[in-house]
């Protein structure tokens, strides 16, 4: 739903590189797809699929928290010195 839109707007407001934002969205799409595949076909393993769905939501939430405020990586210090 609107979780993807939220993470995009947050990413833009923090001037993140675009590829990171799209990466989070791709992951989210994959996991929600995965959760859809986890629905029981015979109805016997309903509890298991519930657990799977909860775990999937948790993972997506944690990854969004992790990648929300990523600072840019500093360049290597001695980059101008040639290695022999």
pLDDT one-digit tens code per residue, 61-79: 988 877 777 667 777 777 7
Residue 14, in any domain of the structure: no
Give percent of the chain with pLDDT exceeding 90. Answer: 14
Look at residue 16 in the predicted model and tell me its pLDDT. 47
Instruction: Judge whether 38 and 24 are in contact, CB under 8 Å.
Output: no
Whole-prediction pTM: 0.30
- Tell me what percent of the chain is helix, strand and coil, each rounded to the nearest 5: 65, 0, 35
Instruction: Name the average pLDDT for the chain.
Output: 66
Q: Which residues span the domain enclosing 32? A: 26-69
User: What is the maximum alpha-carbon separation in the chain?
Assistant: 64
Residue 25 has pLDDT above 80, yes or no: no
Any domain includes 79: no
What total number of domains does the chain contain? 1
Whether the predicted pLDDT of 55 surpasses 90: yes
Does 13 map to a domain? no
pLDDT above 90: residue 26: no
């Amino acid at each position: 739903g609107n979780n993807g839109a939220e993470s995009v707007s947050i990413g833009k407001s923090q001037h993140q590189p675009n590829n990171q934002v799209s990466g989070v969205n791709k992951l989210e799409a994959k996991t929600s797809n995965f959760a859809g595949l986890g629905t029981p076909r015979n109805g016997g393993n309903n509890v298991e699929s519930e657990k799977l769905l909860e775990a999937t939501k948790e993972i997506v939430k944690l990854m969004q928290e992790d990648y929300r405020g990523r600072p840019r990586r500093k360049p290597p210090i001695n980059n101008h010195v040639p290695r022999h």
